[in-house]
Amino acid sequence: MRAYQGIFGIVFLFVSIVRAFAASEPPSSQVACDDLCQAVTERTAISRQKSGKYIGLGVGVSLLSSAKGDGGISISNNIASPYDNLIPIPSFGIRAGTMSFFNRYIGVRGFFGFDMGFGKHSGMLTMLSLGIDAIAEFPVSKEHSVFLGGILGIGADAYLYYDQKDYNRWSKMKKAGEVFMQAGLTAMVGKHSRINLIYRFLPARRASHFSPAGIVSLEYGFKF
């Protein structure tokens, strides 16, 4: 009986030592992950850091078609335009949406935008837009805190133009809906700030049809 007790005690002691030794050393899978997966973990953390909801403000210039006739608009404007039949109208807007990055370099963003511009004769241009952009950017700092790249997108928007001279009634206001494309430069600074310089244009535009021919805007966005 004592022999069995001694054997049991030896086995118990051996098992205890093995368990203690196993607990003192990290598993081989953990060692492998520490060696091989650290870069992947860091990349995943960066892509998650860059993804999320955002809100932004923008200022820019809308270029309106000034063609006379039933389809265009006729606005007397003292601002010289470098384009034929185009009139620049200062505008500002707000953006909101979400961004999702597949890795450190490639991502997409969906957005909703509301813009307003003001011209002669108390003129007001209102724009609503909905779109999606593709983002490609690369780090320009070792800490991966600053990224610089390009942005390209497509969407749809609706316009409404009003002034107190010629388009002061709902029936006379100029209204339009268009499909647009946009392209520009984008920069991420820190964890939350993003700056975009974007030119929005229409793939096809009728010269006599009311529609902003282009919008140039500088945007600042804050990611939550």
Residue 120 sits in the same domain as residue 204: yes
DSSP 74-135: -----S--SSTTEEEEEEEEEEEEEEEESSSSEEEEEEEEEEEEEETTTEEEEEEEEEEEEE
Using the predicted structure, report yes or no on whether residue 85 has a pLDDT greater than 50. yes
Tens-place pLDDT, residues 130-176: 999 999 999 998 888 899 999 999 999 888 888 777 777 888 787 87
Show the tokens assigned to 27. 């598993």
Residue 29 sits in the same domain as residue 60: no
Average pLDDT over residues 1-7: 53
Residue 29 sits in the same domain as residue 89: no
Helix (H, G, I), strand (E, B) or coil at 138: strand
CB 158 within 8 A of CB 138: no
Residue 70 sits in the same domain as residue 16: no
- Count of the separate structural domains present in the chain: 2
Domain that holds residue 80: 52-223
43 found inside a domain: no
Specify the pLDDT at position 101: 94
Residue 62 sits in the same domain as residue 171: yes
41 phi and psi angles, rounded to 5 deg: -65, -40
Using CB atoms within 10 Å of the CB of residue 173, give its burial: 0 to 12 exposed, 13 to 18 middle, 19+ buried.
middle
Query: Residue 150 maps to which CATH number?
Result: 2.40.160.20
Does the pTM of the predicted model rise above 0.85? Answer: no
Q: Between 36 and 170, whose confidence is greater? A: 170
Residue 56 sits in the same domain as residue 20: no
Helix then strand count (H, E) for the chain reads: 3, 8
Using the predicted structure, report yes or no on whether residue 105 has a pLDDT greater than 60. yes
Average pLDDT over residues 52-62: 94
42 found inside a domain: no
Tens-place pLDDT, residues 200-219: 987 765 544 556 678 899 99
CA 16 and chain centroid, separation:
57
46 found inside a domain: no
Specify the pLDDT at position 21: 45
41 found inside a domain: no
Q: Between 28 and 151, whose confidence is greater? A: 151
75 found inside a domain: yes
Specify the pLDDT at position 144: 84
